[in-house]
A and B are shown apart, each in its own frame.
Chain A
Amino acid sequence: MAENPVLEAWKTTVPCRYFASGSCREGDNCKYLHDEALLQILSEGDGLNTTAKRKDNVARSSVDDHNKCTGSSSGNNADNQDNSETRACTSTSQRDKGQLDTGTSSNSDSTESQNNTEPIICQYFQQGCCMFGSNCYNKHDPTEINISASSQSCSEDPPENNSSSTSVTVPLASDALSSDSSMSPLAPNGESLEDQRSPARPESESIETKTTLRVNAPEFIPSGFVRSIPSEASVVVDEVNDTKEASSGKTWAQVVNATAGNGVPSPYTSLCPYAEAGECPYAENCTYLHGETCEFCGNNCLHPTNEDQRKTHTDECIKQHEREMELAFAVARSKDKQCGVCFEVVVDKNPASEQRFGILPNCNHCFCLACIRKWRQAKQFENKIIRACPECRVTSDFVCPSMYWVDTKEEKDKLINAYKSALSNKQCKYFKQGRGKCPFGNKCFYLHAYPDGTKVDTGPPIRRQRQNADGETDVLQLFLWDFLDERDNRWLYSLEDIDLMAYFSGSDDSDASDIEMY
Chain B
Amino acid sequence: MANIAAQRIKREFKEVIKSEEVAKCAIKVELVSDSYTELKGEIAGPPDTPYEGGNFVLEIKVPETYPFNPPKVRFLTKIWHPNISSVTGAICLDILKDQWAAAMTLRTVLLSLQALLSAAEPDDPQDAVVAKQYKDAPDMFRLTARHWTAAYAGGPYSNPEFDSKIRRLADMGIESHDARVALSSFNWDLERATEQLFS
Binding site for B on A (CB under 8 A): 340-344, 365, 371, 374-375, 378, 380-382, 385, 388-391, 393
Contact = CB atoms under 8 A, between A and B. Distances in A.
A19 B141 CA distance: 108
Interface in B1-52: 4, 7-8, 11-12
A381 B7 contact: no
Nearest to B105: A343
Contact of B103 (A341, A374, A381, A382): A341
Given A341-B67, A375-B68, A390 B7 contact: no
Nearest to B99: A385
Contacts of A375: 68, 102
Contact of A391 (B4, B12, B103): B103
B68 A374 contact: yes
A391 B8 contact: no
Given A341-B67, A374-B68, A385 B7 contact: no
Closest 10 CB pairs of A and B: A390-B103, A390-B102, A340-B103, A390-B101, A391-B103, A341-B102, A375-B102, A343-B11, A378-B68, A342-B4
B161 interface: no
A342 B8 contact: yes
Interface of B: 4, 7-8, 11-12, 67-69, 98-104
Contacts of B11: 343
Contacts of B100: 381, 385
Contacts of B8: 341-343
A365 B11 CA distance: 19
Contacts of B99: 385
A43 to B, nearest CB: 71
A132 to B, nearest CB: 62
Q: Report whether over half of chain A's contact residues are helix, strand or loop; otherwise say mixed.
A: loop
A342 B105 CA distance: 10
Contacts of B68: 341, 374-375, 378
Contact of A393 (B69, B98, B101): B101
B102 to A, nearest CB: 4
Contact of A380 (B12, B69, B103): B69
A390 B99 CA distance: 10
A388 B101 contact: yes
28 contacts: A340-B102, A340-B103, A341-B8, A341-B67, A342-B4, A342-B7, A343-B8, A343-B11, A344-B7, A365-B103, A371-B4, A371-B102, A374-B68, A375-B68, A378-B68, A378-B69, A378-B102, A381-B98, A381-B100, A382-B98, A385-B101, A389-B103, A390-B101, A390-B102, A390-B103, A391-B101, A391-B103, A393-B101
A303 B130 CA distance: 89
A387 to B, nearest CB: 12
A389 B4 CA distance: 19
Contacts of B102: 340-341, 371, 375, 378, 390
A385 B103 contact: no
Contacts of A382: 98
Residue among B11, B67, B98 with max Cβ neighbours from chain A (10 Å):
B67
Contacts of A341: 8, 67-68, 102-103
A385 B102 CA distance: 10
Contacts of A393: 101
A73 to B, nearest CB: 59
A346 to B, nearest CB: 14
A365 B68 CA distance: 17
Most buried by A among B69, B99, B101: B101
A393 B104 CA distance: 11
A310 B6 CA distance: 59
Contacts of B98: 381-382, 385
B129 to A, nearest CB: 30
Contacts of A390: 101-104
Contacts of A381: 98, 100
B100 to A, nearest CB: 7
A360 to B, nearest CB: 12
A105 to B, nearest CB: 73
Contacts of B12: 343
Contacts of A343: 7-8, 11-12
Nearest to B104: A390
A364 to B, nearest CB: 13
Contacts of B104: 390
Nearest to A340: B103
A380 B101 CA distance: 12
Contacts of B7: 342-344
B70 to A, nearest CB: 9
A505 to B, nearest CB: 21
A380 B97 CA distance: 10
Nearest to B101: A390
A340 B4 CA distance: 12
A393 B68 CA distance: 15
Given A342-B8, A374-B68, 20 more contacts: A340-B102, A341-B67, A341-B102, A342-B7, A343-B7, A343-B11, A343-B12, A365-B103, A375-B102, A378-B68, A378-B69, A380-B69, A382-B98, A385-B100, A385-B101, A389-B103, A390-B102, A390-B103, A391-B101, A393-B101
